[in-house]
Amino acid sequence: MYTKAEKRFIRINLISIISLFVLILAGGVVRGTGSGMGCPDWPKCFDQYIPPTSASELPADYQNKYVAGRVIKNHKFANTLDVLGYADLADRIRNDRSILEPEEFNAGKTWTEYINRLIGALTGLFLLACVILSFPYLKSRKRIFFLSLLNVVLVGFQAWMGSIVVSTNLLAWVVTVHMLLAFLIVAITIYTYFDAKHLHLQSPFTAPLLVRIIAGFVLALTLFQVTLGTEVREQIDAIATAMNQMNRADWVSKLGLEFNFHRDLAVLVLGANFLLFRFVFRIYGNGTEAFRMMIATLNLITLQLITGLCLSYLALPPVAQVAHLLLATLLFSAQFYLFLSLSRGQMLRKEASVE
């Protein structure tokens, strides 16, 4: 059914999706261990392609050197924001005193961040391979090629954002944008995989409009919940800094309304997905792709709730923080794939009318 070229693309696209999950997991480990500034420069690490393992290998006066470099880069970034009309954000970056605080060298954190960057580079190569292998789709499904190309552009922008994350000393809102952009890249990669995999398959019918609306709602709800979760995490980071990383058990009690909203919204997420499950089971039955994605979604929500409870009542264990982020990514991915499955028949009819 598939040509050899199509099989190669589908295979490398699936590898790219898995690689993106591993990269997000690595990013979670970096954040959970506080290793984000393990490499104070970018793309090198302490001006080296292979980072140091001891303080004796560090460049002379490295702290002042990298702080000065960050200040110059941040002023350029702030000037760009001024041009784009974000003067308030630009002023916040210029006046952020935390940017002037150098990081102490820690070999463990340095190598944690370095491995994260290596995984990122490897993922970028996989996505570039997707572009190369998607050329045959220029005849049969042009959007697969152009979306694959867009993904590489977004990865380049994401790499630049990574350098901004470093230069702004992990400025909270920059970290949030960095994460949401990663979700966009994951979504595009899943879409091209789904489209290529279903290119020669005909869907017998489209899910009713109400079901597709509910599926879109739960997907948007999850994305909103993830964004809200990043704001909660930013508050935790601020509290941890203010308390000098001490008394971890007290951090949750100092969180604001965003945390309560994030926690309570999980109930709505669970309820909305159970409602969707009833429709999917009634329409598709078990054993179908849509049903399997729905079961995966419910299992991921359950695990997500468990890790959330661990974070709330067990003093924010770093392992639970990493798992919570990874599960959020997998949940969004499963829901997005389910949404595509429910909408596929409609997509096929639109394509037929155009062709």
Are residue 144 and residue 2 in the same domain, yes or no?
Answer: yes
Query: Tokens 């140091």 — which residue?
Result: 52
Same-domain pairing of 330 and 281:
yes
199 CB burial (10 A radius; 0-12, 13-18, 19+): middle
Segment 68-82 shows an average pLDDT of 80
Among 149, 177, 201, where does a domain finish?
201
Give the contacts of 242 (CB within 8 A, at least 6 positions apart).
none
Whether residue 186 is found in the same domain as residue 220:
no
- Find out whether 203 and 345 touch, Cβ atoms under 8 Å: yes
Among 201, 232, 262, the domain-final residue is: 201
Domain boundary residue among 158, 184, 201? 201
Tokens of 224: 């909103």
Under a CB-based contact definition with an 8 Å cutoff, are residues 276 and 211 in contact? yes
> Within this chain, do residues 134 and 164 fall inside the same structural domain, yes or no?
yes
78 and 191 housed in the same domain: yes
As a whole number of angstroms, the distance between CA 156 and CA 11 comes to 23
**Do 243 and 345 reside in the same domain of the chain?**
yes
- Same domain? For 100 and 159 the reply is yes
In this structure, the answer to whether residues 266 and 329 fall within a common structural domain is yes
Q: How far is the C-alpha of 340 from the C-alpha of 286, rounded, in Å?
A: 18
282-309: pLDDT as tens digits: 888 787 888 899 999 999 999 999 999 9
* Pair (178, 224) in one structural domain: no
163 and 237 in a common domain? no
Domain identity same for 308 and 189: no
pLDDT value of position 185? 96
Per-residue pLDDT tens digits for 232-261: 888 887 788 788 888 888 898 888 888 999
Q: What's 243's DSSP letter?
A: T
Q: State the burial class of residue 55 (Cβ atoms within 10 Å of its Cβ: 0-12, 13-18, 19+).
A: exposed
Domain range spanning residue 231? 202-355
* Domains held by the chain: number: 2
pTM for the predicted model, two decimal places: 0.87
